[in-house]
Structures are given as C-alpha cells and as structure tokens.
Amino acid sequence: MSIIYGKRIRLRAIEREDVAKFHKWVNDPEVTRGLAMYLPLSMQDEENWFDRMSKSDPDEKPLAIEVRKGRNWKLIGNCGVFGISLANRSAELGIIIGEKSEWDKGYGAEAMTLLLQHGFETLNLNRIFLRVYEDNVRAVRSYEKAGFVLEGRQRQAVYKHGKYEDVLFMSVLRSEWDTRKKEK
C-alpha cells in the first residue's frame, strides 16, 4: 500500500525509528487513559511489538499518522485495521493520537475517515467497527464526526481507574459510507 493522503494528514507505514515516540506515548497516563493498556511498557516491549507488526498481514499493519508542519511531516500517532474477517467482510479499527499538543484539532476524525475509505474502497469491507470506553467523550465525538454510529454497549465490561465502565461499540456500514460520499 502506498501513502494515504488526507487534507491535513497522511498515513504511512510505521518505521523502526517511530518506536521511541510510540514508547513515550504508551507510557503517558493521559494518552493511555482511553486505551486497554494499564501497565508501563519497556522499550524492549515496544520493539517486540514493532517486530510482530512488521510480520503481520500487510492489510493489518499499523500506519503512522503524520500532520504537515511547513515542508515537513510530524508524527502524531498511529492507527490501523485489524481482525479482518474475509467471510464477513468486516474489521476493527484502532487509533492513538499520542502527541498531546495535536489533540482537539480534528486529526483523529480525519485519520478515521481515511481508514474508512481504505477499508471500504481498497479492502472491500462491508462493516467497520471499533470499541471505545464510554467516558472517552472526545473520542466518541471524533468517531461520530467520521460517520460511526453507536450500535451497542457492553455494560461494566472493563475496570479502569477504580471503576467499572461500559465499552461502546460503534460501526459504519458500506451503504452508510456510500451515502455519505454521495452527499459530499
């Protein structure tokens, strides 16, 4: 797959030199608040993750999220499609915007829109979904902006930060994507 360009961001293959930034982000409690992670990760853990990802199916390899800064590109996060079911033509998406100075600028919604485009128009998926913790209001708004709809919840499915929390399931169907595209 070649680089996927949006209006303000691009998605590219992750590189080994990205690992140091990823390590910093996955050890920042503010960044990981909305993720399933709860223990610190060593640099070796992160390098092992990179090695595993580099051997995964090409359609499921994570992508770096970069934003244009002048003539250069700045790494701000990563995202990807995973759990692809060929029989059901479905997959799950995941994202992390680790660079906190770039939060609340709409980059997450743009990245998710690019992933949806890739999922529907390149991978020929029919349903793309994600999971998000109910108290991650910023993420839920971002996903809604990208076209995701709430389809259900697992009540008190996770224990984080001293309380049980619901996990929301949100999805976009191919027919919804096609309708949205025609409206633009």
CATH label of the domain that carries residue 149 = 3.40.630.30
The answer to whether the CB of 81 falls within 8 A of the CB of 116 is no
pLDDT of the chain, 184 residues: tens digit per residue: 589 999 999 999 999 999 999 999 999 999 999 898 889 999 999 999 999 999 999 999 999 999 999 999 999 999 999 999 999 999 999 999 999 999 999 999 999 999 999 999 999 999 999 999 999 999 999 999 999 999 999 999 999 889 999 999 999 999 999 999 998 7
Residue in 183, 179, 118, 106 with CA at minimum distance from that of residue 149: 179
Please tell me the pTM assigned to this model.
Answer: 0.95
Contacts of 47 (CB under 8 A, 6+ apart): 16, 19
Total domains in the chain come to 1
Tokens 């033509």 sit at which residue?
89
Supply the range of the domain harboring residue 150: 4-183
